[in-house]
Chain A
Amino acid sequence: MKTSWLILLALAMSAPLPLSAAADHIFDTGLEERAEGPYSDAQAARFLSQATFGATEAEITRLRAIGYNAWLNEQFEAPATEHLPYLQAQQALGFEIYQNARQEAWWDRAITADDQLRQRVAFALSEILVISDQSGAIEGQPFGMADYYDLLVNHAFGNYRELLFEVTLSPLMGHYLSMFKNRKPDMALNIRPDENYAREIMQLFSVGLVMLNPDGTVQTSGGQPIPTYDQFTIRGLAHVFTGWNWADCPRDQGGQWWEWEFCPIGPVPYPEPGWDIGWLLQMEPWESYHASEGTKQLLAYPGVSLPNGVMPAGGLAMDNLNVALDNVFEHPNVGPFLAKRLIQRLVSSNPTPAYVGRVAAAFDNNGSGVRGDLRAVVQAVLMDPEARSVAPPSSHRGKVREPLLRQTHLWRAFNAYSDVGRYNYWNPEFSFGQAALRSPTVFNFFLPDFQPTGELTDLDLVAPEFQIATDPQIASSSNALGGSTYWAWRGQPGQQPEDVVLDLAPELPYAQDPVVLVDRYDLLLMNRTMSTSMYQVLISHLATIDNDSNPNNTLPTEERRRRVQDAIWLIQTSPEYVVER
């Protein structure tokens, strides 16, 4: 085995290189007869990097065995792994439950759950339908926030209209964007309905600020983008979103103002179990606080059901809310708006308009005449030719991997777990600039249209994830990955039961030969997109980790581990890995 890397090393030293080492990988073998693919391990790994929290050797094998369609169907049908039960189980064990426990649940599901696609899509949705524990209004509600996350998990393949409904009536969203206890106008007190949720459900959750073509490109008039709505629409919708309070408010005295104002969170007093159950229940309407009177300007667009987008006066809070959500959901922008965002989270920062258009079409009609079917949308995102083919680097396709996903990839690829069974990584934002449901504002960790100054602006490319790739974050994320790789492996001296550690033992046999090792990680970590030059740098470097002058000797365990660690970390911090094509 030693000879092969020596030859390659010699080749690496002599420039220019006549043959491509990267093209000379071990040939894939598999079930080439299946119609839909994947036709190679590389294709399987690429798909899994988009559809899961990171490819593993076992999953690559399985996907190759059953094919994309069977894998997708399996994932679509797999039972949802919820996050709230994790917190409840921890509580039953006697742990105090804070947001830490919610982050543990997130890591646990990301690393170990079988419903990987659902979890990955839920994470993408959590960066679109944002709530955050950075808000004082909900930071003390780990159970409620886990339940909100489960709402995204459970509806990840459901209908977007239903998801919008659930999100709108979640008390967590109600508190985060202040629709909770939003009340009808009172001119005498100069009180108008709160516009917060009305504004953001349109700007961030559904239609966006400007009119889109079916392929997501912006509609203009006289060179200027055409706004989707104006302040009157925001006010109209703000009126709709009035009159919502905790579930099951006592109204024994006829719904008096003090009953509205002092409605308890649950039916029993603190601290009896259930005193705060309202955080897990949908908000409920109070007609006396709902702005039923007066017409309401909602979205106006070609084909809108309401005449000119105007909701007639009258109606109950729930009915009006449903009419308004229909008005939002039926807007032609929603398909391309959501398509672009999901593609960006799963596949590519700069999809072609044609790709966006194909996904938007799946949103508009799942093939059975149903609008908003997220299962069809997710399938369209992942099975699009633009997602399934590797474009040349000069096309600038792909995206910057989210820092959190680099960590999940590491832990999944190398089967990381702690002896106590928990993933107690509570503040990944310190290193990575992000953590589940912990963005600074409802605008997420980064904006979908973020353009770094300089070359990317000149090329008119967006790269949302670069918005948090500041100098300190580049260092701290590289260091966090390094800490996990160099200092947290199973069997290391001083390993504690709660340490999440990589299982590097199965890697050591591969480390005898740098070519074999790098080839393995080229597949597992990079879907075989590693360039020849990167390949050569790595094997040259790994070859130096050998104190023995006789290359025919078996490498000691210590040096094999160092080769494994350097290979993993150098890949995970390299431009070619960080930006996946």
Chain B
Amino acid sequence: MKKTINRRDLLLRSLQCAAGSAAFTALSGKLQLANAATLARPKSAVLRGTDYRALVCVYLYGGNDAFNMMVPTGAGYAQYANARADLAIPEGELLPIAPVVPPSGGGSFGLHPRMPEMQSLFNSQNAAIVANTGPLLYPITKAEYNAGTVPVPAQLFSHSDQTVLWQTPQAETLNRRGWGGRLADLFYSTNVNQQLSMNISVSGENVFQSGETIVPYFVSTSGAQAIDFVQDVPWQADRRAAFLALRDASYDHALQREYARRVTRAMDNQAMITNALDTATPLATTFPDTYLGQQLRMVARLISARNTLQMTRQVFFVAAGGYDTHDSQLADHADHLEELSGAMNAFYNATLELGLGPQVTAFTASEFGRTLSINGDGTDHGWGSHHLVVGGAVNGGRIYGTPPDLTIDGPDDAGWGQIIPTQSVDQYAATLATWYGLSDTDRDMVFPNLSRFSGPNLGFMA
């Protein structure tokens, strides 16, 4: 692509930089960033007002067995129980949910017995379930899948690959640009603070938040950490000066440059983040003392500090592991779902406490669902799966999409109980991105495959 620099934009951004709290030393790096973002952004992208919006990706590493998370009840239960055999959740233990609109295909459903909070959120219409969603290149039927006449993404069923497929909007290329990163490429300039990345992860590296130019900033569940031995204090001044001289020297080796950049960023942001967290009003909402709970607590704390941090658009990433339940699934999966339900509920309550219910949306993602067939006490890698979306802006209390036929070798079974998705990740993501403020033109650029599917918006966001 031919690249030209939009000087007006550049000027605008440098003014924003100067007006913001950005340190002067970080300016040149940021200008490069702004530069590149300008190039990546089409003309149609209009930067919107100053209202706050945040998307929170709750990633479930390993492949969540959503067919044991949302289970058909009543007439549909027998089909499920037959498929899941020893791993079936007893019908009487399921927590009934009451969709305000009957789901496509009818039927009644219950949630896993360890998810009472999610049941309440759904029934109070603050949570939606998006059914049988997964990575696709085109809509595909079982006959087409078996005949190989319609392309599917490469390396389906592999953890590492489907993780990327779930996070990138360009399934053909498996590149490391996630749709959260692409959103940030387009929106980051709305934030007054141009030093801190728009995308913050409490769970380390991920494709989702990495854009053309945007790289996520990382915090731990306790926030940011200083390098203790080179603090900006008189008795460390000489050592700090030497450390900074080494850090800021010019390097011919690209990996050395990258390390120096990372150190610079960690140091520049640490004081800002720590100060903002320390001065924010403490949250009254209590979070479960689980890893996911504490990660979402940190997200809520960062959101509570949004004014100090001068952020109006943010994308967060948290994650839990252990969903690869090849073994002892009944016990392990139940614990994970309890953690998930409790943590997402606490986070929703925190958004209410902050008065931001309709402005913050949390959603699940996970590389695949699991096979309907079992291997004794566990399940294997599947394809389509159900997902949860929680927030005040969610058209909640509904199931979007058609829950699949759970018959082994049935019409939705690609083989061995790997269920063919009927909604694409692109549609799921684009619906969230549209709520976030992405224009239709930008949407089609970020999600180039979206037009292949019927309906660019699944309708679960207000």
The chain A residues found within 8 Å of chain B, CB to CB, are 134, 136-137, 175, 177-178, 181-183, 189-196, 199, 203, 209, 224-225, 227, 231, 234-235, 349, 392-394, 396, 398-400, 440-441, 443, 447, 450-457, 459, 461, 463, 466-476, 478-479, 482, 486, 531, 533-534, 537-538, 540-541, 544-545, 566, 569-570, 573-576, 578-579, 581
CB-nearest residue of chain B relative to A529?
Answer: B253
CB-nearest residue of chain A relative to B211?
Answer: A453
CB-nearest residue of chain A relative to B242?
Answer: A541
| Cβ–Cβ < 8 Å partners of B283 in chain A | none
Greatest chain B CB density within 10 A among A192, A195, A471, A475 is at: A471
Cα–Cα distance between A318 and B213 once the two chains are bound (Å): 52
| Cβ–Cβ < 8 Å partners of B324 in chain A | 196, 441
Cα–Cα distance between A486 and B239 once the two chains are bound (Å): 13
Cα–Cα distance between A399 and B371 once the two chains are bound (Å): 40
Please count how many residues in chain B sit with their CB below 8 Å of the partner chain's CB atoms.
83
Complex A-B: 12 CB contacts under 8 Å: A137-B328, A192-B380, A440-B321, A441-B61, A453-B177, A453-B181, A456-B254, A461-B255, A486-B229, A541-B239, A545-B238, A570-B239
Partner of B374 from the list A191, A454, A461 (CB cut-off 8 Å) is: A191
CB-nearest residue of chain B relative to A394?
Answer: B252
| Cβ–Cβ < 8 Å partners of B418 in chain A | 231
**Given A191-B375, A192-B373: A394 and B253 within 8 A (CB)?**
yes
Partner of B258 from the list A463, A475, A573, A576 (CB cut-off 8 Å) is: A463
Greatest chain A CB density within 10 A among B218, B228, B254, B328 is at: B254
B326 touches A177 (CB 8 A): yes
Cα–Cα distance between A159 and B51 once the two chains are bound (Å): 63
CB-nearest residue of chain A relative to B225?
Answer: A475
Q: Does B215 interact with chain A (Cβ within 8 Å)?
A: yes
Nearest CB of B to A581, in Å: 7
Cα–Cα distance between A100 and B381 once the two chains are bound (Å): 33
Cα–Cα distance between A226 and B368 once the two chains are bound (Å): 22
Cα–Cα distance between A194 and B228 once the two chains are bound (Å): 48
Nearest CB of A to B171, in Å: 13
Q: Does B15 interact with chain A (Cβ within 8 Å)?
A: no
CB-nearest residue of chain B relative to A541?
Answer: B242
Cα–Cα distance between A576 and B417 once the two chains are bound (Å): 52
B241 touches A541 (CB 8 A): yes
Q: Does B265 interact with chain A (Cβ within 8 Å)?
A: yes
Top 10 nearest A-B pairs (CB, nearest first) are: A470-B218, A541-B242, A475-B225, A194-B375, A393-B253, A393-B252, A471-B266, A575-B256, A178-B326, A196-B326
B229 touches A479 (CB 8 A): yes
The chain B residues found within 8 Å of chain A, CB to CB, are 61-62, 82-86, 154-161, 176-177, 181, 201, 204-205, 210-211, 213-215, 217-220, 224-229, 238-239, 241-243, 245-247, 249, 251-263, 265-266, 269-270, 321-322, 324, 326-328, 332, 371-376, 378, 380-381, 408, 415-418
**Given A195-B380, A393-B253, A541-B239: A454 and B258 within 8 A (CB)?**
yes
| Cβ–Cβ < 8 Å partners of A461 in chain B | 254-255
Cα–Cα distance between A231 and B418 once the two chains are bound (Å): 11
A482 touches B229 (CB 8 A): yes
CB-nearest residue of chain B relative to A397?
Answer: B253
CB-nearest residue of chain A relative to B263?
Answer: A474
Nearest CB of B to A464, in Å: 11
Cα–Cα distance between A466 and B254 once the two chains are bound (Å): 12
**Given A191-B375, A453-B211: A398 and B255 within 8 A (CB)?**
yes
| Cβ–Cβ < 8 Å partners of A224 in chain B | 154
B217 touches A471 (CB 8 A): yes
Nearest CB of B to A243, in Å: 12
**Given A190-B85, A454-B213: A576 and B256 within 8 A (CB)?**
yes
CB-nearest residue of chain B relative to A231?
Answer: B157
Partner of B176 from the list A227, A457, A531 (CB cut-off 8 Å) is: A457
